[in-house]
Each structure stands twice: as C-alpha cells, then as structure tokens.
A and B are shown apart, each in its own frame.
Chain A
Amino acid sequence: MNKPFSIRSLGSRFNNRKSQIQNLKWAGLLAIPVLLVSCIRVAEAQQSGRVPRIGFLGGFPAAHTAHVEALRQGLRELGYVEGKNILIEYRYAEGKPGRRAALAAELVRLKVEVIITSGSTTTRVAQKATTTIPIVMGQGPDPVRDGFVASLARPGGNITGLSSYSAELTGKRLEFLKEIVPKLSRVSFFGDSTQPGAPESLKETELAARALGLLIQYLDVQAYKDMEAQFRAASKGRADAALGFGGPRFSSRLAQITHLALKSRLPAIYPRREFVDAGGLMSYGASVIEMFRRVATYVDKILRGARPADLPVEQPTKFELVINLKTAKALGLTIPKSILLRVDQAIE
C-alpha cells in the first residue's frame, strides 16, 4: 500500500509560490500611500533659506533707543527674532551733514529689503536714494504734504508707514498752553527751517494762534549752536510760552532744551513725551514708541510680499497729554481742572 496522499505535502508546495506573491503584492500596495505621505511631509518641512535684512536710518542712536526697542518688540511679537530670522542694519547720521545720504546709499547697496526711517528728514534722504526699495516711515508729520505718498489711503510709491499728525495738533497745543499759562499772549515757535514742511507747520501754528488771539514769535534753530541763542531771543521777545520743537535737531537734545526752557522760565509744550520725561513741562502728541512698534507690522507685510503702494499710511489713534508736575511746580504754574481732566500721565 502506497503512502497516502496527504494535505501536508500539497500545502508545502502551495506555500512557496502563490501566497508569497500575493503577500508581496499587498505589502507593496500598502507601502505606496505611506511613501507618498512621507514625501509630502518632507517637502513641506523644507523652508526657503534666506534671512531677510532691513535697514534703520536714524540720527543719533541715543534718540532712537526706545524706538528701536519698540521696533524689535513689535518684530518679536510677529515672530522675527533679530539675528535669527531677521537682520537689522543700523545707520546713524549723528548730525553730520551729508552723512544721511551716504548711509542711505550704503543701505541701498546692501540691498536691504526694507528701509525704516526715523523722521521726515530721513525719509526724504531715503526717497532720493531709492525708488524701488520699500521705505517705512516710523513717523512723519504729513507724508502727503511732504510728497512721500500720493494719499494716505493709497501711497502709490515705495514709501509708506506711519504719520504722526503732529502739525495738526499745534492748535491744540496752543490751547493747552493757554489753559495752563494765565494771560498767555506771546508764544515762541521753535522751528527748524532745514526740516521739510517747516514753513507749513509755521503757517498752521500762526493760523491757530490767530484763532486763539495769540502772537507767534518764530525762532529758527538751524544748527545746534543756535539753540541757546534762540532761547535768549525768546526771553528777550517776552514770550510767555514756547512750542514747536519738532524734528531731529530738537529731539536729539532733549535735556539741553528742557534745561534751557526751565532756565528761561519758559513754559513749553512739546510734541513728544520724551521731552517731558527729560524735564519738559507738557507734551501732547501721539506715542512715537507705539508707532515704531507698528512699523514692525509694515515690515512683516512687505517681507511677505505686500507692495508699499498698497499699504495705507496709519495715523495714531491715541494722543496723550503728559505733564511734568515737578517742572510745573518749578515754574510756579497751577494746573487747571480742565488740564487735569485731560492729562493722560503726570510725571512727578
């Protein structure tokens, strides 16, 4: 009797070819989607390499520390860490004439992605240096008047940024002076004719003064050395108060100015609170620090591909009245209720 025909022998013959091929087929089919997904993930993970570079064009480093810090903070909030994924080239003219233009040209040569300007003077220099690299104004009294933008809603060129509305507030500043200084009649207006828009701001001031029944004495500070002389002129002109002080020439000499004002017993109202922090009596204006923080938003948008022509100019929403009580006391001024009600911050 032969060996019976068994399953086992049939089974082992079977195992080798057919089921192996079937198993391989299915393993392969399952592997395909897994491979695809991992490829996609790898592709997504790859980022494009370049670290963007921006330029900051200013006057004196000291005048801008707070602004720069605000800018850095604004950038951080948007995810840019200086040194890691963004580089900032700082260029300070430090008051040397003609230096600004050279520095602007240098930034243009460096092919920075954005140039941030600290004021209208700087903006003008930058505007001359390039019409293609986007320029973001940190502040500026009237970009339309100064020819930087076609309109606030649609700048239309390579310049956009923030506008500090400063000149328009000149009337309000006179109002405040009128409230705090009894029997105010003559006011010295400290200006800088080298600043763009200087004649316009003088005109605005004179208009407002007329409406308030005040007389304006225009004092031009074209160079630092003129500062003391003009204060003497103010005293000589029997000015009851002072205002103006707009522009880098003044904002770079905070301590000197406030000191001179006090020495001349001149109640002054400044465009920026930094003056009050340095001993000035009052300031009414927008927070420039806030504005520089907002600059970061512009930088971010431009780096993402937005065109400055399409980004509208922002104006500040908050204007703060800051008073230095110590200075007020030193000048022997009493602060009326109307001012107290309006004051946003009082410095001891």
Chain B
Amino acid sequence: MGIRLKIFTGFMILAIMLLIAGFISIHEFMNIGNYVQKLLDDNYRSIEASGTMVEALEREDSGILLLLMGNWEEGRKILKEGDDLFNKGFSSAENNLTIPGEHKYVERIKQDYNIYKKTWERPIVGTDKEGNFEWYYNKSHQMFLQIKESVKQLMEINQETMYKTGSDLKNRSQRAVMPGIVAIIAAVVFTLLFNYFINFYIAKPIVHLTRGIEEYNNTGEIFKFTSETSDEIGRLTNAIKEMLQSLTYK
C-alpha cells in the first residue's frame, strides 16, 4: 500500500469513528425526545385522568352527604358536576390505553362506577335513606372506596410505567453521551498511534536517508540503512542506494 493511501486510511478511520459516534449520539438524542413525548402522551395523561376521576368521586361522596342531610338542591348540583367531571376523566383514560392490560383496569372502573352511580341516581331526600348514615357507611361509602381503589390502581400502573420509562431515559441519555466520550478517547489514542506509525515508517526513514546521502557526500560511503516497507519510501531508499552505487563504480 502506498504512503498516500496509508495516510488517507488513517484520516478516514478517524473520520469514520467520529462520524459514527456523532450519528449514534444524534439518533439516541432523538430517541430521548420521542421517549419524553411518549412519557407525556402515554402515562402522564392517564395519571391526570385518574386524578380527575378521584376528585370527581370525592365530590360525589360529598354530594351524597348533602342529600343525606336533606340539602337536595346543593347535593344534586354537586353530584351533577362530579358526574360530568368523572365522565371527562374516564373518557380521557379510555382513549389513552397504552399499557398492556390497562383496558382491564378501565373496564373495572366503568363497572364499579355504574353500580356506584345507581346508589345516588335514585331519590334520597324524602326517602328512608335521608339521615340514614348507616346506609351511607355500609353501602354508598364502601362503593365509593372500592371505585376509588380501582382508579388508584390505574394511576399506579401508569406511575410504574412512567418510572420505568424514566429509568430507560437515563440509560438512553448514557447511550447518547457515551459514544461521544468513547469517540474522543479513541480519537486521541488513535492520533497517538497514527503519529507513531507516521514517524516510524515515514519520517524516520526520510531522516535516515537524508543522513545517509549527507554521509555519502562527506565520506563517499554508501549507507547501510534499509526500509522495512515496500512503499514509496522503500522504493526511494533502494533507488538512491542503486544510484549511489552506480556513482561510486563510475
């Protein structure tokens, strides 16, 4: 292989190392962006929806208490608002099923809520339920706790996935940064190695050759130095040697 090709290969290797490292880093950084978006789209929206549903359920529980105390108008108003808020949260969760098995949690919430809703949809004020706190604690409140637990489970599964995605993000960021660090270290080591080879196989023979010619001029003695390579330097050394030999014999 000729000197030009050797030097070109050296620089090409250096360029390839840096280019690939750059490409991988960019690719991983773009992935991080996608992951953040995924984190927001997939999990944060469901967690927010769960929070809305919990808030709605708590309002409805308060509404039932107001009805029990005979405050029909205020109670029905809060229950209506709570129901609207719950449906809004539920609809958001239902349209954002991104985790395997998440649909089962949503389905359970739907079933539990339908049962719960039946307890307060029927009249309370003016019936035997009014002021009946035993009915409230044993039935209505128990159902409230049950559905709240189902919503919390949905929230937890999303939080767990969000934590996992967050941990993945940490790994992704390392995967994005490390190629750059490795490329810098590799490039430094490679440059030193490249410099050593250039010095040993190109610069050093030229120095030896120059000294040999100078010595020939001074003493008329042909140098004994031989090149290890068969590239341009090797051929030049042999050519000069032959030339000096022919000059000597003339």
Q: Decide if A and B are genuine partners.
A: no
